[in-house]
Each structure stands twice: as structure tokens, then as C-alpha cells.
């Protein structure tokens, strides 16, 4: 668990605080997304958690321990850190880059080598090809993936990620987001994740913290924030298509009707069960249809989602959550 209490940072010579009385709690095993306009203090907040920046005031408690009393080196080795500018080591191979923390903490060589390959595979890069390459021989997107692999390599319980998927094309980004969510499902980690992208925040966050000028404007689950923006700033920030975005929070499996098994309304296209309702809606509209068959990985029919159903869902959900 990570708890920030009235965390404040005033950089020397600056009139206004970069981070101002920020208090929030990230429960263990959850992902907290920090989002807000450029310069609102996201990076500064992240760097205070691993003590790259010393707070001017307030407290940071990680796993019940006040961070200020801890040895920063030991603290950082337990926190995977992906910096905004990636920061790969130019003189080391990709394998050596990824092996950084395992080497620091003294894993045996065989375990490190296996871990490097595992991490490369995880981020969708062929170990045989990329292991011995150098950072400058990679594309920007590949470097970013190596940055994520490097942060994950030591299997830290906490991950601090500063726009980790910023320089990646939408398709790869989507894949990496899914991969990362899968990793988190398998090994629970407490994650603080910085992004500029509302859709990414909604997808990745158990909770979203919206910052403005160093202050916390709203902190809540994606659904809470989409359903009840705290003020006009949040409303504008999350976008006018809030209703649509909320549909991205639900998978078709959760809403599909299974009572139509025997007689589907009409022969229709299919969608995988883990697709979001937003994707289902988009597919229905694109096909100019009425409904979609929901199928599992093997293509077996599980149920249906219909346009009517989605409309009802939106209508039902646009009411404020009690």
C-alpha cells in the first residue's frame, strides 16, 4: 500500500508548489493512474515516492513504513521505475539493460539470463534477435518496451511508471497495455502509473487521480470519475464522450444475454467475450446490425449482445451512482 499525506514539493526558487498538499491512498495490489495536464506535478509526485526528489512537506508511507526513514537504495530496488525519457544505458546490450536490478541484488547468472528472455518475450520482442543489440539499434517504441521490461525484471512489489507507453503506436500500445494488465492479474503489484491519455487511464487504473497545478482534483474509480466528474475541469478533461468511455469499462461477457442460445435473433457477426461493450457497439454500428454473437477463445457461442441492450445500459448508467 502506498499512502501520500499532504505531500508537497516546492522547488527552490519557485513561487508555486509543483505538488501541493497531495493526499491519496493506493491499496496494495491496485493500480493508481496519475493524470492531468502537462506540468501538473505527476513526475514530481512519482519521484518523491522513490526519493529522487525530496518532499518539502508531507509524508509517504509504503507498505506501512515511512519512506523518509528508509535507505533510498534499498527502497528503489523494490520499486520498478520506468522514467518518462526511457533512459536506457547506451553502452549496455538490451540483455544487460534488463538485467540491471537482478545483477544489483545478486541473482545467479543462469536465473538472470532466463529472466531477461522472459521479460523480452513478455514485451513482445524476440530474445534471440534483441538480446545482444544495443539501445541505439532499436526503434523508439522498442526502447520503451525495454524500459518496461527492465523495470519489471527484478519482480518488484511496487511499480512506478511515467508514461511508459507514450512513444508507441496505438496497436502495440494496446497490446502492451493488455500484456501489462495480464501481468498484474498474475502477480499483484501496487502500481503508480502516469499518463496523459484518458483512455489509457480508464483502461489501466483501478483508481484515477486527476491533478491540476499540483493539486488533487478528483480521486476515484474510472467509473466514478466518468459518471460524476467533480467539476467542469474534470468534465472537460475526460471528454464529452463520457457515456461512451464508460462502455469501455464493461466487457461483453458481463452484459451478454445467454437466454438467446436456442434461437439467435438473426445470423450475425461474433465478438470475443473479453471485448468491451464499447467495442461491441462500434462493431454493431459498423456492420449496421442489431446484435453480435459473443464467443469464447475457441469460437464457441456463449450468448449475445444487442444494440437495445447497450442503449438500456447507457440509459441506466448515466444516472448518478448512488
Partner 1 sequence: MIQAAWAYLLSHPKLFRDALVTHLTLSGSGLAIAAILAVPLGILLSQSPRAALLAINAANIGRTVPSLAVLAIMLPVLGTGFLPSLVALTLLAIPPILINAYVGIRQVDPDAVESAVGMGMTRLQVMAKIELPVALPVISAGVRTAAVQVVAGATLAAFIGGGGLGDFITSGIALMQLPLLLLGAVPIALLAIGTELLFHRLERALTPRGMRSGSS
Ligand X SMILES: Nc1ncnc2c1ncn2[C@@H]1O[C@H](COP(=O)(O)OP(=O)(O)OP(=O)(O)O)[C@@H](O)[C@H]1O
Question: Applying CB under 8 A, which residues contact partner 1?
Answer: 47, 50, 52, 73-77, 81, 83, 85-93, 100-101, 104, 134-137, 147, 150-151, 154
Q: Binding pattern to ligand X, positions 21-60, x when CB under 6 A?
A: -----------------xxxxxxx----------------
For the CB of residue 204, give the shortest distance to partner 1 in the complex, in Å.
20
For the CB of residue 165, give the shortest distance to ligand X in the complex, in Å.
14
Nearest to 251, CA basis, from 285, 224, 226, 277: 277
Q: What angle do CA 168, 171, 172 make, to 5 degrees?
A: 50
For the CB of residue 144, give the shortest distance to partner 1 in the complex, in Å.
12
DSSP-derived 3-state class of residue 178: helix
Distance in angstroms (rounded) separating the CA atoms of residues 308 and 95: 52
- Which of residues 40 and 95 has its CB atom nearest to Mg ion in the complex? 40
Choose one: 38-46, 108-116, 233-241, 295-303; the region binding Mg ion (CB under 5 A).
38-46
Picked from ligand X, partner 1, Mg ion, none, the partner binding residue 50 (CB below 5 to 8 A depending on kind) is partner 1
- Which of residues 27 and 37 has its CB atom nearest to Mg ion in the complex? 37
- Which of residues 116 and 211 has its CB atom nearest to Mg ion in the complex? 211
- Which of residues 39 and 265 has its CB atom nearest to Mg ion in the complex? 39
For the CB of residue 46, give the shortest distance to ligand X in the complex, in Å.
8
Residues 153-212 binding ligand X (CB under 6 A) are: 196
Q: What dihedral angle (degrees, nearest 10) is formed by the CA atoms of 162, 214, 39, 195?
A: 30
Distance in angstroms (rounded) separating the CA atoms of residues 246 and 276: 10
* DSSP, residue by residue, 21-43: EEEEEE-TT-EEEEE-STTSSHH
Q: What angle do CA 53, 54, 55 make, to 5 degrees?
A: 115
Picked from partner 1, ligand X, Mg ion, none, the partner binding residue 1 (CB below 5 to 8 A depending on kind) is none
| 76 is an interface residue for ligand X by CB under 6 A | no
* DSSP, residue by residue, 264-305: -SS---EEETTSBHHHHHHHHHHHT-SEEEEE-TT--EEEEE
Distance in angstroms (rounded) separating the CA atoms of residues 309 and 315: 10
- Which of residues 44 and 142 has its CB atom nearest to ligand X in the complex? 44
- Which of residues 31 and 100 has its CB atom nearest to ligand X in the complex? 31
CB-CB contact of 11 with 3 (8 Å) = no
| 43 is an interface residue for Mg ion by CB under 5 A | yes
- Which of residues 43 and 97 has its CB atom nearest to ligand X in the complex? 43
| 115 is an interface residue for ligand X by CB under 6 A | no
Distance in angstroms (rounded) separating the CA atoms of residues 51 and 60: 10
For the CB of residue 95, give the shortest distance to partner 1 in the complex, in Å.
12
Please count the residues of the chain. 322
Distance in angstroms (rounded) separating the CA atoms of residues 315 and 319: 7
Residues 197-226 binding Mg ion (CB under 5 A) are: none
DSSP code of 251? B
- Contacting residues toward ligand X, per CB under 6 A: 11, 14, 18, 38-44, 84, 196
Amino acid at each position: 500500500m502506498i499512502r501520500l499525506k499532504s505531500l508537497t514539493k516546492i522547488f527552490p526558487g519557485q513561487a508555486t508548489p509543483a505538488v501541493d498538499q497531495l493526499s491519496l491512498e493506493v491499496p496494495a495490489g491496485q493500480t493508481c493512474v496519475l493524470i492531468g495536464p502537462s506540468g501538473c506535478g505527476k513526475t514530481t509526485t512519482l519521484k518523491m515516492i522513490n526519493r529522487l526528489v525530496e518532499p518539502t512537506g508531507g509524508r509517504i508511507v509504503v507498505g506501512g513504513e515511512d519512506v523518509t526513514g528508509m535507505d533510498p537504495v534499498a527502497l528503489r530496488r523494490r520499486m520498478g521505475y520506468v522514467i518518462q525519457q526511457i533512459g536506457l544505458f547506451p553502452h549496455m546490450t538490451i540483455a544487460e539493460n534488463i538485467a540491471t536490478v537482478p545483477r544489483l541484488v545478486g541473482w545467479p547468472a543462469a536465473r538472470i539470463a532466463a529472466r531477461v528472455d522472459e521479460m523480452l518475450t513478455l514485451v513482445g520482442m524476440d530474445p534471440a534477435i534483441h538480446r545482444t543489440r544495443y539501445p541505439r539499434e532499436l526503434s523508439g517504441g522498442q526502447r520503451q518496451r525495454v524500459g518496461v521490461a527492465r523495470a519489471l525484471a527484478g519482480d518488484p512489489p511496487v511499480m512506478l511508471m511515467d508514461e511508459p507507453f507514450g512513444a508507441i503506436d496505438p496497436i502495440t500500445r494496446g497490446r502492451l497495455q493488455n500484456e501489462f494488465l495480464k501481468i498484474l492479474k498474475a502477480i499483484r503489484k501496487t502500481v503508480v502509473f502516469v499518463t496523459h491519455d484518458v483512455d489509457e487511464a480508464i483502461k489501466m487504473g483501478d483508481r484515477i487521480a486527476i491533478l491540476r497545478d499540483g493539486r488533487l482534483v478528483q480521486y476515484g474509480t474510472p467509473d466514478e470519475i466518468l459518471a460524476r466528474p467533480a467539476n467542469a475541469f474534470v468534465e472537460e478533461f475526460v471528454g464529452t464522450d463520457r457515456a461512451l468511455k464508460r462502455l469501455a469499462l464493461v466487457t461483453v461477457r458481463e452484459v451478454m444475454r445467454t437466454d438467446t442460445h436456442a434461437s439467435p435473433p438473426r445470423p450475425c457477426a461474433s465478438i470475443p467475450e473479453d471485448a468491451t461493450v464499447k467495442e461491441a457497439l462500434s462493431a454493431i454500428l459498423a456492420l449496421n446490425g442489431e446484435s453480435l454473437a459473443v464467443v469464447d477463445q475457441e469460437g464457441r457461442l456463449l450468448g449475445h449482445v444487442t444494440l437495445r441492450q447497450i442503449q438500456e445500459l447507457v440509459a441506466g448508467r448515466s444516472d448518478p451512482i448512488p
